[in-house]
Amino acid sequence: MSEVLISPSILSADFAALGQAVADVDAAGADMIHVDVMDGHYVPNITIGPAVVKALRPHSSKPFDVHLMIAPADPFIDAFVEAGADFLSIHPDAGPHVHRSLQAIRARGAKPGLVLNPGTPAATIEPVIDLLDLVLVMSVNPGFGGQSFIDSQLRKIEALRKMIDQTGRDIVLEVDGGVNPQTAPLCISAGASALVAGSAVFKGAGSLSENIAALRADPIRAAV
């Protein structure tokens, strides 16, 4: 597998200087910029909307990896794509017709992603896998940053890796939640190709570049 992609979550950045935070992690070696969108309805928190994404877009040329924790998601697809989302990921229960929603994301010019919560089985992606460019495994329950990694999700990552490999397509398998230098190698060993990290990047012990580099650890270091 090629080097794992790191997508720092700006949920853990300084919201008073969000544009600078995006520019800083870009310069520090981030591969994507992860944007968590929460509506206070699908998840018990409220973050940002399309206007903020649009304002942040000039601060980085890296892909914007936008995770919609909102329901319904369909009415906001156009706005987030127009604001600059490159990957746009939704939850399968964020609307009545997930297949149609994924089609709409691609039709608008973004790359569709599907998000699996800890209680959502890997098999959920099977009917729509041909429409996906990204699968996001939540290794915490969505809604808040700083939570602890749920170990049972490693088996799900392994199952998804097999399913993706069988398609022969280059679908990003991303993990979000409790990702740090200790859990990152476990995710990579299980088959993840991208990692989302907020606290570990923005609030880690080293510089931003050091914290990002620490997440790219060789999987053989991990104790399985």
Sketch out the chain's domains with CATH numbers: 5-221 (3.20.20.70)
Which residues are known binding-site members?
Answer: 9, 34, 36, 67, 143-146, 176-178, 198-199
The residue type of 56 is L
| Closest alpha carbon to 20 in 49, 65, 60, 67 | 60
Which residues are known binding-site members for a divalent metal cation?
Answer: 34, 36, 67, 176
- pLDDT of amino acid 224: 44
Say how many C-beta atoms besides its own lie within 10 A of residue 88's C-beta: 30
Task: For 7-29, write each residue's pLDDT tens digit.
Answer: 999 999 999 999 999 999 999 99
Task: For 114-154, write each residue's pLDDT tens digit.
Answer: 999 999 999 999 999 999 999 999 999 987 767 789 999 99
Q: Where is 201: in which H helix or E strand?
A: helix 199-202
- pLDDT of amino acid 161: 98
- pLDDT of amino acid 143: 78
3-class DSSP assignment, residue 61: coil
Whether the predicted pLDDT of 220 surpasses 60? no
CA of 38: how far to CAs of 44, 54, 173, in Å? 8, 16, 21
Residue 218 pLDDT grade (very low, low, confident, very high; cuts 50, 70, 90): low
Q: Do the strands 172-176 and 33-38 form a parallel or antiparallel pair, or are they unpaired?
A: unpaired
| Closest alpha carbon to 70 in 95, 104, 107 | 95
Q: Do the strands 111-116 and 87-90 form a parallel or antiparallel pair, or are they unpaired?
A: parallel
Query: Which residues are part of the catalytic machinery?
Result: 36, 176
**Cβ contacts of residue 178 below 8 Å, gap of 6+?**
139, 140, 147, 148, 149, 150
Q: Where is 87: in which H helix or E strand?
A: strand 87-90
CA of 147: how far to CAs of 12, 104, 133, 138, 160, in Å? 12, 32, 26, 11, 23
